[in-house]
Amino acid sequence: MRRRPAALRAVLGLAVRTAPAALLGCLLSAAAVAVVPVAAAWLMRTVLDALTAPATPGAGLLLPVAGLVATGVGAAVLPHVEQLVRGELARRIAVEAQDRLYAAVNSWVGLARFEDPARLDRLRLAQSCGQEAPPQIVLGAVGLLRTALTTAGFVATLAAIGPVLALLVLLASVPVLATEFRLSRAWVGTALRITPYERREMFYGQLLGDVQAAKELRLFGLGSHFRARMRADRAVVDAANRRTEQRAALLQGAPALVSAAVSAAGLVWAVRAAARGELTVGDVSVFVAAVAAVQGGIGTAAALAALAQQKLALFGQYLDVLAEPVDLPALAPVRPAPPLRQGLELRDVWFRYSDRHDWVLRGVSLTLPAGRSLALVGDNGAGKSTLVKLLLRYYDPTRGTVLWDGTDIRHFEPEELRERISAVFQDFMRYDLTAAENIALGDVRAADPDRVRRAAAEAGADGLLASLPQGGDTMLGRAFLQDPDHPEEGVELSGGQWQRVALARAMMRRSPDLLILDEPTAGLDPAAEYEVQELLRRHRHGRTSLMISHRLGTAREADLIAVLREGTVTEHGTHEELIAADGTYAGLFHRQAEGYTAGSTR
Ligand SMILES: Nc1ncnc2c1ncn2[C@@H]1O[C@H](COP(=O)(O)OP(=O)(O)OP(=O)(O)O)[C@@H](O)[C@H]1O
């Protein structure tokens, strides 16, 4: 975790860079708000003393009364001005802080960080405090400044009337300050402890409101089960907060009693001094106001400072996320990723997701010559999708290398490498956007309606687009209305229709050097599968492609087939070669073929 001064510098730097005018306005209005009560107390003293002056009662009242009226107007107007400027400052800082956080998360090259629970806890804290903490800290600092100014004014007032009491009031505030700082540390500890529970609570909350989850939740009657789990996590969070609140009440009680005793003693002293004629009525009034203001001011300042300290400690988590080094840095010398001319090679690739996991790939060696298609087949969990993730550099091999035209892909910038590849994943995304946008996302920078139409045609999704009520402009999914002014509902697609849209998205990338298709036709009906296969065959022609498929009728269309079993390539060759070899592939192929024939003759 970062040190608080560094965090404070970072927050103030953020404010100065993103909203200098609002910050200045905030400081000026805070200073003005701070001065008003001190001025009002002194003016009141002057007025009271003038009224009770034995020689000329009521003389010379004009100026102090005018001043009092002015401070009244100031007290009424200035806090609203300050509120406006504070709001603007808070919004600007929050937007910038949030944007920086997501820019940092977006710069994570691989997927491993998204699968690390401790890191996700920190990210959750960074998300919640990244938006709230910076404005709270800056506004807290401004508020602290304002309170310090007002308090200093009243301390000076007190010192002028009763220096000993001024000292006593200040001494009595030391325990208040110490307690608040102690408590702020306790609150930070609590926040860190409860984050994993809050994250899980959020997860259950999302499940309970998610249409995708709704089917199973209703079928298996899981709603109350997840609600109970959510309540259990909330109970842990509440218990931790309750313990800290109880501790706060206990710790804050004693200093509050000391402050009350000091102010009572001060009042008795002032009244007796006035009775003896040592203080005027005005003195007593300003003295009473000053004791209350100093005690209140010190209490507010302590609370603000403690809150700022607490937010700074949590903001450290945000800064830690921003300061994380690149997760999968390119190897020196970094080279431009060239068009694929010779081919891809996996050379003795070993991979496991972490030291705690088993090996998923165990010495995979495989070549895919440029311009050829390779089908990867194998049992569930054999490591096929994992191999694809290594090609896209979502992870680096634990041992061994992935070579692109003979160069280790770690020498390329990952974005450059990925720009040369297009893919349809097994678990492709369904974006709650229009159909055309869903496709255009495959190449947002170069998307135009013609290109989108061509990609849709290449994926056999043009008919689907034409059949939608507003064509490509139809909102997909039912989470959002088409447009608040034209409240047509979105259209939900079938699984196979979504798959065609995902395929069209992959087709947006013009002439990729490598096309990866992970179960591209799994959700399609037989006629659609045949049609899409035809389209893909044409699209693949002369291109380098890698396809994963459990349907061996589809796999046989590839130039080469590799069988992956328990993390190793056990067979590799053309369909004819593998059938002749009469190994696993041949066995599986004949069994699937028999299944189709048996089905058709039944
Ligand atoms: N992100 C992950 N973290 C840890 N283990 C993982 C992760 N993803 C996959 N695995 C494990 O790696 C192994 C291989 O999974 P992979 O998804 O590569 O298999 P597959 O051959 O594509 O399977 P299928 O045919 O079912 O899609 C499995 O044992 C799986 O549990």
Ligand 1 centroid to 384 CA: how many Å? 8
Give the type of residue at 410: R
Q: If you count them, how many residues does the chain have?
A: 602
Token pair of 412 as six digits: 């390329």
How does pLDDT run across 186-199, given as a tens digit for each residue?
A: 998 998 899 889 99
CB distance 467 to 461 below 8 Å: no
How does pLDDT run across 376-426, given as a tens digit for each residue?
A: 999 899 999 999 999 999 999 999 999 999 999 999 999 999 999 999 998
Q: Which atom of ligand 1 is nearest to the CA of 354?
A: 4
Contacts for 119-128: CB closer than 8 Å, 24+ residues apart:
120/199, 121/195, 121/196, 121/199, 122/317, 122/320, 122/321, 123/321, 124/195, 124/198, 124/199, 124/202, 125/191, 125/192, 125/195, 125/314, 125/317, 125/318, 126/101, 126/317, 126/318, 126/320, 126/321, 127/101
Radius of gyration of the chain (CA): 35
Among protein residues, the one whose CA lies closest to atom 7 of ligand 1: 353
- Spatial CA neighbour of 390 closest among 427, 355, 356, 423: 423
- State whether residue 563 is helix, strand or coil: strand
Q: What is the mean pLDDT of the chain?
A: 88
Per-residue pLDDT, 343: 95
Ligand 1 centroid to 514 CA: how many Å? 22
CB distance 538 to 465 below 8 Å: no
Among protein residues, the one whose CA lies closest to atom 28 of ligand 1: 381
Tell me phi and psi for residue 514, to 5 degrees.
-140, 130
Q: Is the pLDDT of residue 169 over 90?
A: no
Q: What share of the chain is helix, strand, coil (3-state, %, to 5)?
A: 65, 10, 25
Residue 484 confidence class, pLDDT cut points 50, 70, 90: low
Ligand 1 centroid to 498 CA: how many Å? 23
Residue with more model confidence, 171 or 250: 250
Q: Which atom of ligand 1 is nearest to the CA of 111?
A: 1
Q: Is the pLDDT of residue 585 over 60?
A: yes
Ligand 1-lining residues (CB < 6 angstroms) = 115, 353, 357, 360, 378, 380-386, 426
Query: In degrees to the nearest 10, what's the CA dihedral of 497, 498, 501, 506?
Result: -130
Among protein residues, the one whose CA lies closest to atom 30 of ligand 1: 381
Among protein residues, the one whose CA lies closest to atom 4 of ligand 1: 353
Token pair of 142 as six digits: 């401004």
Please, which residues have CB within 8 angstroms of residue 287's CB and are 6 or more apart in sequence? 157, 158, 161, 162, 266, 270, 279
Residue to probe by mutation, ligand 1, list 111, 353, 565, most atoms within 8 Å of CB: 353
Separation between Cα atoms, residue 319 and residue 101, nearest integer Å: 9
Residue 226: CA atoms inside 13 Å, Cβ hemisphere, count? 20
The fraction of the chain above a pLDDT of 70, given in percent, is 96
Q: Which of 151-155, 223-227, 233-237 has the lowest mean pLDDT?
A: 151-155
Among protein residues, the one whose CA lies closest to atom 31 of ligand 1: 381
Token pair of 318 as six digits: 């945000």
Separation between Cα atoms, residue 261 and residue 255, nearest integer Å: 10
Q: Is 466 exposed, middle or buried (0-12, 13-18, 19+ CB in 10 A)?
A: exposed
- State whether residue 109 is helix, strand or coil: coil
CB distance 121 to 196 below 8 Å: yes
Among protein residues, the one whose CA lies closest to atom 12 of ligand 1: 360
Q: Which atom of ligand 1 is nearest to the CA of 550?
A: 25
Diameter over CA atoms, the chain: 125
Residue 598 confidence class, pLDDT cut points 50, 70, 90: low
Among protein residues, the one whose CA lies closest to atom 6 of ligand 1: 353
Residue to probe by mutation, ligand 1, list 119, 384, 568, most atoms within 8 Å of CB: 384
Residue to probe by mutation, ligand 1, list 114, 357, 360, 390, most atoms within 8 Å of CB: 360
Separation between Cα atoms, residue 155 and residue 163, nearest integer Å: 9
DSSP class per residue in 293-356: HHHHHHHHHHHHHHHHHHHHHHHHHHHHHHTPPPSSPPPSSP---PPPSSEEEEEEEEE-SSTT
Q: Is the pLDDT of residue 561 over 70?
A: yes
Among protein residues, the one whose CA lies closest to atom 16 of ligand 1: 383
Section 123-127 average pLDDT: 88
Residue 158 confidence class, pLDDT cut points 50, 70, 90: confident
Ligand 1 centroid to 385 CA: how many Å? 7
Ligand 1 centroid to 386 CA: how many Å? 6
Q: Is the pLDDT of residue 220 over 80?
A: yes
